[in-house]
A = this chain, B = another copy of it.
Amino acid sequence: MARSGTGGSKAATLNDVARMAGVSLATASKAINGRDQVAPATRQRVIEAAEQLSFTPNSLARSLIAGRTGTVGLLTSDLEGRFVIPILMGAEDAFGAGQINVFLCDARGDTIREQHHLKALLNRRVDGIIVVGRQTDPRPSLGQGLPVPVVYAYAPSDDPSDVSVTPDNVAGGRLAVEHLLSTGRRRIAHITGDPEYAAAQDRTIGVRAALAEAGLDLVGDVMMSSWSEHWGRAAAGMLLDQHPDVDGIVAGSDQIARGVIDTLRDLGKRVPEDVAVIGYDNWEVLALNSRPELTSIDANLQQLGRTAAMRIFDAIDDGEPDPGVHHLPVRLVIRGSTIERR
């Protein structure tokens, strides 16, 4: 009786199928793989035998011959970070469509473990590797000598001869300000997260640039501290204290935006009538449950994952790397925190 787990007899091999169908190994192979040098009747017999034995071709053997495994490694530094998940999804999706399977490796921010995983991936002869970082700050390159193409996603490599894809945070900052301007705001402030993050710096650059182009200045200084709701609340309090006439706030993250909105309500300011607030990340759990719902910048991370996958595809086939850091477009998602409901 075939118990589930370690079920009795081993998996059927092509040899078994051939014998059962009364043909040679080679013929069975051709029949199964749809080669056209085989009589219809024979093919039919082989296929039936295969079904009978519930034959499954052994990918290992195939890969050994082909020199390609149809697998790629997804090397992440931190699965916990919520930015890597959509990227993973996008990549897995793109590869899945191309009959490629994905090895998931989480280095947990540890270089040793990363090296260890890298080695394992190479032993397994993956056809390519995507390295997904948790921040947009550049990270150390895995090096140039690797036998397979590598693409860095989200966190670009610090070596310009590597291929990297990362969201365009400067454009995101611009987009946020341009949107606020388009709703008639003129006294705009910027509250954002940890200044150690490139994301904070880049978005700020975009914010400043867009304001400058409109001939405006930021209201107060950029307020930078942490990516939390707590900071959003505190900063908004200080801001309104010093500049009660502010009419638009660009928050560096949706969490900060939530905090900002909380404080504004506490202070009796209406959003968006008195002050418009725009977040960043379009993290739906936060954005959709906010009162009012949060306008935000979406970094298209799933798309970014797909793009990384495509670049690996190309590198595997053509071998045309196109090195450098590629900044991918971001997207404005408009909700009630910047535009009044009618």
Instruction: Give me the interface of A with B, judged by CB distance under 8 Å.
Output: 2-7, 10-11, 54, 56-61, 63-64, 67, 69, 71, 74, 79-80, 85, 88-89, 92-93, 96, 99, 101-106, 108, 113, 117, 119-125, 144-150, 161-162, 228-230, 255, 258-259, 285, 289, 315-316, 319, 321, 323
Which of B61, B125, B162, B285 contacts A58 (CB under 8 A)?
B125
Assess the A319–B5 pair: CB atoms within 8 A. Answer: yes
Assess the B105–A96 pair: CB atoms within 8 A. Answer: yes
Q: In the docked arrangement, what's the CA distance between A61 and B144, Å?
A: 26
Assess the B60–A4 pair: CB atoms within 8 A. Answer: no
- Residues of B with C-beta under 8 A to A124: 59-60, 71, 101
Q: In the docked arrangement, what's the CA distance between A161 and B1, Å?
A: 14
Q: In the docked arrangement, what's the CA distance between A18 and B283, Å?
A: 55
Q: What 8 A-B pairs have minimum CB-CB distances, sorted nearest first?
A: A229-B289, A6-B319, A104-B104, A5-B149, A59-B123, A59-B124, A5-B315, A79-B89
- Residues of B with C-beta under 8 A to A123: 56-59
Q: In the docked arrangement, what's the CA distance between A1 and B124, Å?
A: 25
> Can you list 9 A-B pairs, Cβ within 8 angstroms, ordered by A?
A2-B145, A56-B122, A58-B64, A59-B124, A60-B64, A60-B69, A93-B106, A103-B103, A228-B289
